[in-house]
Structure 1
Amino acid sequence: MNVVGGIMKFVIYGAGYRGKRLIHFLGKENVVVFIDGDLKKVGTTYLEKPVITISEYKIKYSNFFIIISPVNTNEITKLLRENGIFQYNILPELPSEFNGYGNCSLVDICSALVRKLHNIIYLYGINAYSLMLYDAFRESFDVHLVKSDKDRELISEWVKNNYTDIVIEDVSDIAEGHVLLTIRMEEKEKEKLFLKNQVLDAFYFSCNMEYYYNSQVQKFRLEHGSGERCFIVANGPSLKIEDLELLKDEFCFGMNKIFMATNSWKPNVYVCSDSFLINDMTDKIADYDCKCKFIGDSGEKYWEKAQQNSYKIHVVAADSYGILPPFSEDICQKIYGYYTVTYVCMQIACFMGFREIYLLGVDCNYIRGSAENYFYKNEKVDNLDHNEYGMIMAFKAAKKYADEHGIKIYNATRGGMLEVFERVDLDSVLNLETDIK
């Protein structure tokens, strides 16, 4: 990056919306070309950069690291490996700012990190992010890359061949007392490897930045902490308008395009965390008659016209790698997205103190090419790459947190594929409450 006159540049795989967000974060001057599997795009330009094939990359650009922007990466990574290409990262392996979340730049991240660094720095893990940090700090610090056990095969060899000035160390070479910047590491791994060193988390470090903290959200902490229950209403095709009518006396969270519901019901809290949806639906969200709205801080267009009942949340989005993702206990600072806004709603509900949470319309089942993936009918078919596996991992994390804190989460969805939570019948739940009264 160009933080201190850097020399490293990158290639983006995917000439689409996520690639656009990525180049905005990296800066056009730091991206060489786009790769895309759509032959209609090859030979054209996207954001003033050429769009090429993998074959052309191997011939002309193989000394540049690739960042893969599409959601569905399995076929792409397989194709790269088959072509002997290992110098790549998928977006979820990098901090969520790379994917357009938050309003933080790499310069901001580096500036925040610099305040806690010493003369010698060890970057644990080799990927696009660590190369950027190396480039940013190399003129002011003695910087070393440390290969982790999880780094892809041959990645260190590629770095040595293309960046001859970079020193790559083994964990055993790190002297006691030095600063270690972790690019992606579990807490247990930190404790095991670096008990004698200062460990800084460069992956989630931006979440500690002061300007991400929203003190206005603090007033919601345990606001409903007297054993109250709530309903989180998603947008799945099983959601029925008549079910919403039954919830008029319940505390409800709604999300995304819930304003497509044609009846008089409104949620108590509206939530939208995805930057694309926020910017695409800015006017409709702003005009939606709801007492309280939690909106992701990456929706630039929305925050230009936000009303007083809107509360900004810093959304962190990253992959779980088969590991349960974090669950935020302080949504004033950060909240984790992980493929579904329902997970965001769960964290808000727990922060507010609800002890009994019912899910409705959380089908967790998407059919690519269908116009009926939601309770409303889309004008266009849904060709998005939904990651149900990532959603399930998030729901498992929510259940784990709930079980450990005496919170009950039930699935009152009529059908669908979500089986993480105990299923209950919505009619029975509501009728039981009526009988008690």
Structure 2
Amino acid sequence: MKKNVTLKTIDHDFCFVIGNGPSLTFEDLEAIKVYPTFTVNFFHKGCPEFPSTYHVLLDPCFGNEECLPYVLDLYDSHGTTKFITRQNVAKQLLTLNKVDRIFGTYPVLAQYRDFVRCNMTKSMTGSVNVIPFAIQCALYMGYKNIFLLGCDFNSYANLKVEHFYKHGKDRMTSIGEDLRWSSFVHYHHYALQAYAQRTDCKIINLTPGSLIDAYPRNSLNLILNKIEKKNNDFKAY
């Protein structure tokens, strides 16, 4: 994990963390593909050509026989994307000669109150959901302005689980069980907001209708206008 320090070399002070919520269907991803982006999990099922800067694979399933072919195909077809995953999955990929763009992490620490550890070269705070973990990686790398897209986080309030690339999947757990685990994710976001305030960073939710209420809200169009107007300088944001 020591090589993760090389991820701290960044060209912008802002990035986009993109979830897989159904609202992403209505967003103009072409407008942000030239900027630093974090995508997650099965995002490329819906946008196979999108040139992610980083792709985060937090779930252990990405090392098993069912999901590993997806990861290998993604690695081969996206020649500049850097892949961030768990240490055990990273080791498995390294044995398959997928070396240069694989970054392993060790997310084993429990999130409690305002405790968050983002250091990717050491044990990190674990997460029930991939988005808080992707935010932690962005904070570690040095991004001072982190914009969330496609982070609806409303599956526990719907009868079916929706993603922008697949509609109407029956839930695997009851609404009550989903709500219980989702509460942990909400409190993780609250801790990340407190961490951002302590470190002079901004996390801003650009997802219309998102149930994540930890961060200030804005819209993608307004943020893109600010980027153009300020020539990528968010010091006065």
> Which TM-score bucket, shorter chain as reference?
0.7 to 0.9
SS in 1 for 2:24: coil
1:358 aligns with 2:144: no
Structure 2 distance, partners of 1:340, 1:286, is 22
Q: Which residue number in structure 1 is paired with residue 120 of structure 2?
A: 331
Deviation at 1:243, TM superposition (A): 2.3
- CA 1:306–1:339: 2 relative to 1, 3 Å: farther
Q: Report the identity percentage.
A: 22
Q: Where does the alignment leave 5 or more consecutive residues of structure 2 unmatched? A: 232-237
SS in 1 for 2:225: helix
Q: Which residue number in structure 1 is paired with residue 104 of structure 2?
A: 312
1:236 aligns with 2:27: no
Q: What TM-score does the superposition give when structure 2 sets the normalisation length?
A: 0.82
Structure 2 distance, partners of 1:379, 1:256, is 18
Q: What TM-score does the superposition give when structure 1 sets the normalisation length?
A: 0.46
Select the structure of larger CA radius of gyration: 1
Q: After TM superposition, list the pairs within 5 Å mapping 1:30-429 onto structure 2.
A: 214-221=1-8, 223-224=9-10, 228-240=13-25, 242-262=27-47, 264-279=49-64, 280-288=66-74, 289=78, 290-299=80-89, 302-305=93-96, 307-308=98-99, 309-316=101-108, 318=110, 320=111, 323-324=112-113, 326-367=115-156, 370-377=159-166, 380-384=169-173, 385-386=177-178, 387-429=181-223
C-alpha offsets along residues 133-181 of structure 1, whole Å, 9 cap, x if unaligned?
A: xxxxxxxxxxxxxxxxxxxxxxxxxxxxxxxxxxxxxxxxxxxxxxxxx
Structure 1 distance, partners of 2:136, 2:192, is 8
Structure 2 distance, partners of 1:379, 1:297, is 32
Cα-Cα RMSD: 2.4
Deviation at 1:349, TM superposition (A): 0.7
Q: Where does the alignment leave 5 or more consecutive residues of structure 1 unmatched? A: 1-213
- CA 1:331–1:254: 2 relative to 1, 3 Å: same
SS in 2 for 1:235: coil
C-alpha offsets along residues 274-303 of structure 1, whole Å, 9 cap, x if unaligned?
A: 112442421111221152001112337545
Out of 294-303 and 227-236, give the one that drifted further.
294-303
Contact 1:314 1:334 in 2 (8 A): yes
Contact 1:239 1:414 in 2 (8 A): no
Contact 2:38 2:55 in 1 (8 A): yes
- Structure with bigger RCO (C-alpha 8 Å, 6+ apart): 2
Contact 1:411 1:424 in 2 (8 A): yes
Structure 2 distance, partners of 1:306, 1:270, is 18
- CA 1:370–1:260: 2 relative to 1, 3 Å: farther
- CA 1:227–1:355: 2 relative to 1, 3 Å: farther
- CA 1:303–1:338: 2 relative to 1, 3 Å: same
Q: Which residue number in structure 1 is paired with residue 234 of structure 2?
A: none
Q: Which residue number in structure 2 is paired with residue 434 of structure 1?
A: 228
Deviation at 1:434, TM superposition (A): 2.6
Structure 1 distance, partners of 2:219, 2:158, is 30
